[in-house]
Structure 1
Amino acid sequence: MTGQSAGATRLGGDGFGDALRRLRAAQKPPARSAPAYSRFVNRRIGRYLAAWAYTARLTPNAVTAISAVWTFAAILLLVLFPPSWLLGVIVAVLLLVGYAFDSADGQLSRLLGTSSPAGEWLDHMVDATKVSTMPLALAVGFYRFQVVPVPWLLVPIGFAIVSAVLFFGMILTEQLRRRTRGAVPLAEDAPGRPSWLRAIAVLPMDYGVLCLSFVTLGAVPVFVTLYTLIAAATTAFLLLAAAKWFRELRSWTPARPDQKGDLR
């Protein structure tokens, strides 16, 4: 999820196994709210991909680009072809591989110790694009092939809005938390250990679960039901999270009056 400079240092003779061991040691603790698939499956797959990328001498930015190719290929297929079991499986696989590479770029960057603002910007731009274009592509494809009643298309259109706002809210909240200088704790600094219960409870908001839901694309009524439930759960999560974020940030008062223009 971050980038690297051209002069990144790699230890000579490092093989796949060595890189994998170093990646395990370089892992950052998972967020307490990390859902089960992202935490227990995607991070692990991403670790293996990061070790492969390391031995292939790829940069984190190159891994981000690979993630984008897999992801946007799936999104394009949703527009071009009518729903079917084969399409659903292909789209799910493409999205899941793209998601794994999305985890790998950040792990590779930590392994190399070469994080950069440009790399983080690139990763966030790709993520912001995919969370908005995926539901819109689904709506366009369903409209083209007339497989659902037109009013249902409001669900993916609304989901595109919710996804964009949620992504922006998470990024902005973390940036503002950093400006509080400890008055509002960062997400990774929150007390307590991640729990299985929390990881399972937030599964409906897991991007990996959304990707897996496309496996049912051949049974449109089933897919529509799953997708609607995921969209509704994500909307509820956004409303609850936004209220929590606002309360946290409102509790912090800037030290100088001249900061009021920025943070109200």
Structure 2
Amino acid sequence: MTEGFAENASTASPTRGDSYLAVVRRLAAAQKPAARSAPAYSRFVNRRIGRYIAAWAYRAGLTPNAVTGISAIFTFVAIALLIILPPSWGLGISVALLLLIGYAFDSADGQVSRLQGTSSPAGEWLDHMVDATKVSTMPLALAVGFYRFDVVPTPWLLVPIGFAIVSAVLFFGMILTEQLRRRTAGAVPLAAEQPGRPSWMRALAVLPMDYGVLCLSFVLLGAVPVFVVVYTLIAAATTAFLLLAAVKWFRELRSWTPDTSSAAPEKGDLP
């Protein structure tokens, strides 16, 4: 996701004349802290790969929005393949690689914006729109593909369909909660500012909800019965996480008393 530029551009941004490794080192020094709940693959693998891609993109003169666009291309090609081709080892490996590359570019766009000092609401909007689309369309594409090629019992198709709903609600909840936390002026800390340090134990505990693990699971498409079990477990774990997180978010925000001096718009009002 697009991340804000936390430092002054004149002191934090390298020049395009700097070496690739110099840009990577500067990015590592300016990396935003990971949230305490950041899962292992996203935190320890994807952010690092994204850093290398961001350094390349910066030296190539790509904008953050261009990086987001590249991420979308890899991701939606993979999603389309789930509908077009029957499950196989070749399809699974291809889809997993495309999704992981797309995920790495998704991590890189915010890092490019920090290097360039060009973080913007439009860039963040574009990034979130792509993310919102992919989390819903991926399980639906899987359901359509499995239905087309008749590789699973029809009742199982309710799993990816339900997963699409859970993924959409979870993504919306995360984004909305962070926006409401910002309105509390620090009374409710942002995810990256939660007290305590990120730990390996926490990162491993939430690994089943890691988008990177979901991407890797598609490698098993060559063994559909095994994939079905793994995918169902991921969907169940994500559902449980959503229920627990929703309770936690509601309690956090309920503890904050807002300033009513400026009335919020009614729910039905147009933006």
Is structure 2 residue 119 aligned with structure 1 residue 115? yes
Q: Does residue 247 of the first structure (1) align with residue 214 of the second (2)?
A: no
Displacement of 1:253 in angstroms is 1.2
Deviations 1:131-172 (A, max 9, x none): 000000000000000000000000000000000000000000
Residue 24 (str. 1) matches residue 28 (str. 2) = yes
- CA shift, 1:12, in A, is 4.7
Pair 1:53–1:138, CA change in 2 (3 A): same
What is the letter of the counterpart of residue 59 of structure 2? T
Paired amino acid for 2:81: L
Aligned-CA RMSD value: 1.8
| Post-superposition CA distance 1:191-217 (Å, at most 9, x none) | 111000000000000000000000000
Partner of 1:98: 102
TM-score normalised to the size of structure 2? 0.92
Report the AA paired with residue 176 of structure 1.
L
Q: CA shift at 1:15, angstroms? A: 2.4
Deviation digits for residues 92-123 of structure 1 (CA, Å, limit 9, x no counterpart): 00000000000011111112221000000000
State whether structure 2 residue 59 is matched by structure 1 residue 52: no
Distance 1:99 1:261, change over 3 A: closer
- Select the residue among 40, 43, 47 that pairs with 2:47: 43
* Aligned twin of 2:219: 215
Q: Partner amino acid for 1:137? A: A
Pairwise CA distance, 1:255:
2.6
The structural deviation recorded for 1:21 is 1.3
Equivalenced residues, count? 260
Distance of 1:112 and 1:198 partners within structure 2: 33
2:69 corresponds to which residue?
A: 65
Residues 14, 23 of structure 2: 8 Å contact kept: no
Letter in 1 for 2:2: T
Kindly tell me: are residues 183 and 152 of structure 1, through their superposed partners in 2, closer, same or farther at Cα, counting changes over 3 Å? same
Per the normalisation by structure 1, the TM-score is 0.94
CA distance in 1, matches of 2:77, 2:16: 35
Match of 2:192 among 173, 188, 194: 188
1:2 and 1:117 in contact (8 A); partners too:
no
Q: Using the alignment, how far apart are the partners of 1:12 and 1:139 within structure 2?
A: 45
Aligned to 2:2: 2
Matches of 2:168 and 2:260 in 1, distance apart? 32
Query: How many angstroms apart in 2 are the aligned matches of 1:226 and 1:212?
Result: 11
Instruction: Evaluate the alpha carbon distance shift between residue 23 and residue 257 of structure 1 in structure 2; reply closer, same or farther with a 3 A threshold.
Output: closer
Which secondary structure state, in structure 1, belongs to the residue aligned with residue 119 of structure 2? coil
Aligned pairs (5 A) from 1:117-156: 117-156=121-160
CA distance in 1, matches of 2:16, 2:89: 46
Equivalent in the alignment of 1:256: 260
The amino acid of 1:112's aligned partner reads Q
Aligned equivalent of 1:13, options 17, 21, 40: 17
- 110-119 or 80-89, which moves further after superposition? 110-119
Aligned CA distance change for structure 1 residues 103 and 260 (closer, same or farther; 3 Å):
closer
Do the aligned partners of 2:92 and 2:219 also contact (CA within 8 Å) in 1?
A: yes
Offset at residue 10 of structure 1 (A): 6.4
Whether the 8 Å contact between 2:67 and 2:108 is mirrored in structure 1 is: yes
Q: Return the alpha-carbon distance in structure 2 between the equivalents of residues 84 and 28 of structure 1.
A: 39
Structure 1 alignment gaps of length 5 or more: none
**1:257 Cα offset (Å):** 6.0
CA contact (8 A) 1:139 1:153 kept: yes
Cα offset for 1:222? Answer: 0.3
Correspondence 1:34 to 2:38: yes
